[in-house]
Amino acid sequence: MAMKGLLWLLLATIASAKLRYDGHKVFRVVPEDEHQLQALRDLEEQSQGLNFWTSARSLNRPVDVMVPPHLLRDFYETARRNQLTTEIFIDDVQKTIDSERPAHKVKEAYGWTDYYDLNETYGYLQSLVEEHPQHVALYVGGRSYEGREILGVKLSYKEGNPKIFVESGIHAREWICPALSTWILNQLLTSTDSDVRFIAENFDWYVFPSTNPDGYQYSHTTDRMWRKTRTPGTSCDGVDPNRNWDDHWNEGGASSNECSEIYAGTGPFSTVETASLADTITELNPTVYFSFHSYSQLLMVPFGHRYEMANNYYKLLEIGNIAAVSLSKRFGTQYVVGSIIEAIYEATGGSMDWAKSKLNVTYTFEWELRDKGNYGFLLPADQIVPTSEETLDSIITILRRVSLALPKNES
């Protein structure tokens, strides 16, 4: 019995140990011809130990690839054989992970100088209800495979306001997104700035900091670079929840390979996370849909497929361009504006495209937040506040223009 107990303890310790990325490097590669592009696509689809932080989808657009130490020689050989020029953006991923958060962690209360796990984030949402019961209520947006709630809040100052749905953290490793969402909530409740007060009091906000709660918690406890859900698979676990929506599902920029980071699942809404979240969004029928991702510094509008433009594409593009200028004024951060397929790459089965095509949500915007690859998904915690400040500047600009366009009884 003693031996069995020791074995159980050993297995439990191994299962709970954090995966380390010592010696893993992130390379930037830019395909310059179709042969090079196809070579990178083949590598990504094979999913044999390489982790594509950005996908190979078009010519002359950067592709960031994390390579473990034991595959470095093979990667260099593949690059040489295909005449690909490589540049190291992150020399040691583990060192970057170790420096992502403050060296001296003081967590007396939830704040924005560090990153917080799911339980701490949900605790913060609960505290908002306790401190602002007249304006904030908990709102369950859905469920996860492991039985967690997709928890958010409704923030409202008066009934009848147009609704904003904020979807954040659908990719687990993009920690800046839940941090941004909670920072915005704090501003909506406490800021005395006239523009912030306007958007707080003239819209009803439904904010969900982590719409992939299993994956997000797993990225804190076990694997910092985890992206997908925790849905069990045959060969590999997890589905990309932003390729699993019922809009041009798996028609491009997605994969049928379970081990791919962009695995689309067995069918539209095959994950409980996306299916239950879609039911909530349908019920709410929002006027505005915001989606937060990282990284690349992009402000995007539908669509991620090749077949059509959004019915108000030019209006969304106009608003987006003005918003990007607003965003740039505070710190000089430059964003590219365009449809998903124009600004980044083809990607089908995404949440924002579904909201536009299936629900005809009028105003739909998706941010790829800081940075452009120096840190990638490992944005240092000291950039949470500046990232949030400039993003809120762009949101204010968008909502000011939305308000002008709405009928008077809706704004």
Q: What is the pLDDT of residues 324-348, one digit of tens each?
A: 999 999 999 999 999 999 998 889 9
Mean pLDDT (whole number) for 22-37: 97
Does the structure show a pLDDT above 80 at 212? Answer: yes
Residue 52 has pLDDT above 70, yes or no: yes
Instruction: State residue 186's pLDDT score.
Output: 98
Per-residue pLDDT tens for 362-377?
A: 999 999 999 999 999 9
Instruction: Look at residue 69 in the predicted model and tell me its pLDDT.
Output: 98
Structure tokens at 237: 């676990």
| CB-CB contact of 315 with 360 (8 Å) | no
Greatest CA separation found in the chain?
73
Tens of pLDDT along 243-285? 999 999 999 999 999 999 999 999 999 999 999 999 999 999 9
Question: What is the CATH topology of the domain spanning 25-100?
Answer: Alpha-Beta Plaits (3.30.70)
Q: How confident is the model at residue 399, as a pLDDT?
A: 98
Amino acid at 397: T
Q: If phi over 0 gives left and psi between -120 and 50 gives alpha, with beta otherwise, what is residue 22? A: beta
The string of DSSP codes covering 156-213 is -SSTTPPEEEEEE--STT-THHHHHHHHHHHHHHH---HHHHHHHHSSEEEEES-S-H
By annotation, the residues acting in catalysis are: 368
pLDDT digits (tens, 9 = 90+) for 69-127: 999 999 999 999 999 999 999 999 999 999 999 977 666 689 999 999 999 999 999 99
Q: 145: which residues sit within 8 A by CB, 6+ positions away?
A: 214, 229, 230, 231, 232, 271, 272, 273
Q: State yes or no: pLDDT of 409 exceeds 80.
A: no
Q: Where are the domains of the chain?
A: 25-100, 118-405
Tell me which CATH code domain 118-405 carries: 3.40.630.10
